[in-house]
């Protein structure tokens, strides 16, 4: 062995790597190891190279080899643990995440003050579902090294998921103080501020986020702004498309992806597979369970793939009973889930999540079915090449807006929203006093989540309250910070905080029953109510909406058109305010409108779930017969 030779090959490998000539770099590092099999530095360098180019199994091999050669190499432990974390999170492999935890724990025995490792351990613990232990690790990490922006951000994510918005905001602020250009933290911060209705601070954050998003898109990088935040925040379908494509591109170029061949199998019946984590007490189930029950079993077989928890709810039980096959894939990594779906020979695979929390679009990236469809769950394009169609209607996606969708649009002749015409309100007869509502007031309700409320829209609501003196706002809200902020904003606009009342969570049947205590509902913009609007109308409560440009700002218009109440669709804030005031100030007019709504519930197509299901099935047949030839 000639030390000069080994050094020369190692240095040559480093040079090739810096020039992005990766095959040559790998060959040089390997030659170094051939000359000196105990060269731990060369093993580590080769592991890092393979990790960089996506050859994860090879990287794992050489990180492990480095540790066997040098059991005190903290960098090798760290790199192996981060690799296992990436492998586990990108494939949903719980075993790999458990291995990552073990490696981090060994590393911290060697180097207890390794703050980044402690922070990363917290991240993996959160992925495994142990939020409290994750918080402990994050706090220990920051005690050692307080300027870790990623750790502050990760703590904020946990606090936000727990509903502790004040702590979440504090964490995101600290993260951005450390690194003002940290896009992920900026996106999380903006979303938490929207939930908290902390609009003054939000204005500057939105401005910075917009600039950083534009910069990322120009550089063909995934922005910190998520597709979900884009559609709820920006009534610009072109921008929504750009953001979604940037995120989907990252899924499509995953180094562990394996695209399955399209298999066109003609069964006696068309085999439909639905994928969701919402087959439980969840809005998805509220909307679509009745459709599952009504699917024509002489033409279709229904396979349901669940990657969410079993909450033992009535909805879970109904869904399991109605499926031809119900398959729990929550424990499977993405590739294994895709292989299971491929084994079932599904003709049309339907995603019910889009870019909402808990999605598993990675499964669809493997192409386990010859036709893949986006439907119901997400009000915008996925920007993905692996979803072929989107089921919509001509109001949420006018033909002129098809250019903002990567999916081909299949139109239903009625609203795309599925409804359940069998769901009933609670038999309990609620009184206004049950919810501390004044008995003689005019109750204006908004049961949309607080992140959908904007400063401008709330200003209009307060003008309505000011114009109609005996009116109150009844708003869904479960966090103290948002309640405080909304009352503060009301006072700033000359409205007593006593006129802002709050509602919490309730079972579906109780929620429908309590809605009947309200007189009028006001919709949000640019993200309309979806299930919220449908629930209000089913309970006999008129909803005033504002029509925008993107999908999410046109959902309520779709629903109101289907129930034949177009007079409640407005085109600007001035008209929105005028219609709301006119109805709130004229009880007779409002009463007649409610009577008409009651009649339309019986006669309009919105709540004709049987007819809706037949139209959806026609869409599936059209897709299948068109694509298979």
Whole-number pLDDT of residue 256: 46
* Same domain assignment for residues 274 and 147: no
pLDDT digits (tens, 9 = 90+) for 138-167: 999 999 999 999 999 999 999 999 999 999
- What's residue 628's pLDDT? 56
Claim to verify: residue 555 and residue 471 sit in the same structural domain: yes
**Is residue 260 very low, low, confident or very high in pLDDT (cuts 50, 70, 90)?**
low
The percentage of residues in the chain with a pLDDT greater than 70, rounded to a whole number, is: 97
In a domain, 50, yes or no: yes
Domain count, the chain: 3
Q: Is residue 248 situated within a structural domain? A: no
**CATH number (domain holding residue 97):** 1.25.40.10
Quote the pLDDT of residue 56: 87
Mean per-residue pLDDT, 519-525: 99
Secondary structure (DSSP) of 5-68: HHHHHHHHHHHHHHTT-HHHHHHHHHHHHHH-TT-HHHHHHHHHHHHHHT-HHHHHHHHHHHHH
DSSP label at residue 525: S
Can you tell me the mean pLDDT for 462-468?
Answer: 99
Specify whether 154 is located in the same domain as 58.
yes
Q: What's the confidence (pLDDT) of residue 619?
A: 98
Q: Which residues pair with 543 in a beta bridge?
A: 521
Q: Is the pLDDT of residue 265 over 90?
A: no
C-alpha 487/C-alpha 476 separation (Å) is 13
If we measure between CA atoms, which residue out of 561, 564, 556 comes closest to residue 536? 556
Q: Which residues contact 532 (CB under 8 A, 6 or more apart)?
A: 447, 448
The 10s digit of each residue's pLDDT in 504-515 is 999 999 999 999
Q: What is the pLDDT of residues 2-21, one digit of tens each?
A: 566 889 999 999 999 999 89
Asked whether residue 404 falls in the same domain as residue 476, the answer is: no
Q: Check residue 308 and report its DSSP letter.
A: S
Average pLDDT score, the chain? 95
Give SS3 for 195: helix
Fill in the DSSP letter of residue 300: E
Terminus-to-terminus CA distance in the chain, angstroms? 64
Do residues 419 and 563 lie in contact, with contact meaning Cβ atoms separated by under 8 Å? no
Q: Assess whether 591 and 616 both reside in one domain.
A: no
Per-residue pLDDT band for 305 (boundaries 50, 70, 90) equals very high
Whether residue 258 has pLDDT greater than 60:
no
224 inside domain: yes
Assess if residue 258 is contained within a domain.
no
Edge-to-edge strand list for the sheet holding 371-375? 325-328, 300-306, 270-276, 348-351, 371-375, 389-392, 408-411
User: 488 and 378 in one domain?
Assistant: no
User: Is 48 in the same domain as 156?
Assistant: yes
Residue 242 C-beta-side C-alpha neighbours within 13 Å: 18
254 within domain boundaries: no
255 falls in which pLDDT band (50, 70, 90)?
very low
- Domain of residue 601 covers 432-607
pLDDT-derived band at 266, boundaries 50, 70, 90:
confident
CATH label of the domain that carries residue 463: 3.40.50.2000
pTM (2 decimals)? 0.92
The band of 253, judged by pLDDT with boundaries at 50, 70 and 90, is: low
């Amino acid at each position: 062995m000639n030390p000069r030779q080994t050094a020369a090959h190692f240095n040559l490998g480093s040079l090739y790597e810096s020039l992005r000539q990766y095959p040559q770099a790998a060959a040089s590092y390997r030659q170094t190891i051939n000359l000196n099999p105990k060269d731990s530095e060369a093993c580590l360098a080769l592991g890092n190279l393979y990790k960089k180019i996506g050859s994860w199994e090879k990287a794992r091999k050489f990180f492990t080899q480095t540790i066997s050669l040098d059991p005190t190499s903290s960098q090798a432990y760290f790199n192996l643990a981060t690799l296992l974390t990436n492998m586990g999170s990108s494939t949903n492999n719980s075993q790999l995440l458990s291995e990552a935890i073990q490696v981090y724990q060994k590393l911290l025995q060697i180097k207890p003050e390794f703050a980044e490792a402690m922070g990363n351990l917290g991240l993996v613990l959160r992925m495994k579902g142990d939020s409290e232990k994750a918080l402990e690790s994050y706090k220990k990490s920051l005690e050692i090294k307080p300027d870790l922006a990623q750790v502050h951000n990760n703590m904020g994510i946990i606090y936000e998921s727990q509903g502790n918005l004040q702590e979440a905001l504090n964490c995101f602020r600290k993260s951005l103080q450390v690194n003002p250009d940290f896009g992920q933290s900026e996106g999380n911060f903006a979303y938490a501020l929207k939930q908290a209705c902390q609009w003054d601070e939000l204005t500057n954050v939105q401005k910075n986020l917009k600039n950083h998003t534009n910069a990322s898109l120009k550089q063909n990088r995934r922005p910190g702004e998520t597709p979900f935040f884009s559609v709820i925040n920006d009534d610009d379908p072109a921008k929504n498309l750009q953001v979604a494509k940037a995120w989907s591109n990252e899924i499509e170029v995953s180094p562990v992806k394996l695209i399955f061949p399209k298999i066109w199998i003609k069964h006696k019946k068309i085999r439909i597979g639905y994928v969701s984590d919402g087959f439980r007490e969840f809005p998805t189930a509220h909307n679509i369970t009745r459709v599952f029950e009504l699917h024509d079993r002489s033409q279709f077989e229904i396979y349901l793939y669940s990657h969410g928890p079993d909450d033992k709810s009535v909805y879970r039980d109904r869904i399991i009973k109605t499926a031809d096959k119900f398959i729990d894939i929550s424990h499977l990594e993405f590739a294994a889930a895709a292989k299971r779906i491929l084994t079932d020979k599904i003709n049309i695979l339907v995603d019910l999540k889009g870019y909402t929390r808990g999605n598993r679009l990675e499964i669809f990236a493997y192409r386990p079915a010859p036709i893949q469809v986006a439907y119901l769950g997400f009000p915008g394009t996925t920007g993905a090449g692996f979803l072929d169609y989107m089921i919509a209607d001509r109001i949420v996606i006018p033909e002129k807006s098809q250019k903002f969708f990567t999916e081909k649009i299949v139109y239903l002749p009625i609203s795309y929203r599925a409804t359940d015409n069998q769901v009933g309100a609670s038999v309990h007869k609620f009184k206004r006093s049950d919810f501390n509502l004044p008995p003689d007031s005019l109750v204006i309700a908004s049961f949309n989540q607080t992140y959908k409320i904007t400063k401008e829209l709330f200003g209009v609501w307060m003008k309505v309250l000011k114009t109609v003196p005996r009116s109150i706002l009844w708003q869904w809200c479960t966090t103290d910070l948002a309640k405080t902020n909304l009352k503060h904003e009301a006072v700033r606009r000359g409205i007593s905080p006593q006129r802002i009342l709050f509602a919490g969570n309730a079972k579906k049947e109780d929620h429908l029953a309590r809605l009947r205590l309200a007189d009028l509902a006001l919709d949000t913009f640019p993200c309309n109510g979806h299930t919220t609007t449908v629930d209000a109308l089913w309970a006999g409560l008129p909803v005033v909406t504002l029509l925008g440009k993107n999908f999410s700002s046109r959902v309520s218009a779709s629903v109101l058109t289907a129930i034949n109440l177009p007079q409640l669709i407005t085109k600007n804030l001035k008209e929105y305010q005028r219609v709301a005031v006119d109805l709130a100030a004229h009880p007779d007019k409002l009463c007649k409108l409610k009577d008409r709504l009651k009649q339309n519930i019986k006669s309009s197509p919105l709540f004709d779930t049987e007819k809706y299901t037949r139209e959806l099935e026609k869409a599936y047949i059209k897709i299948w017969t068109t694509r298979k030839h």
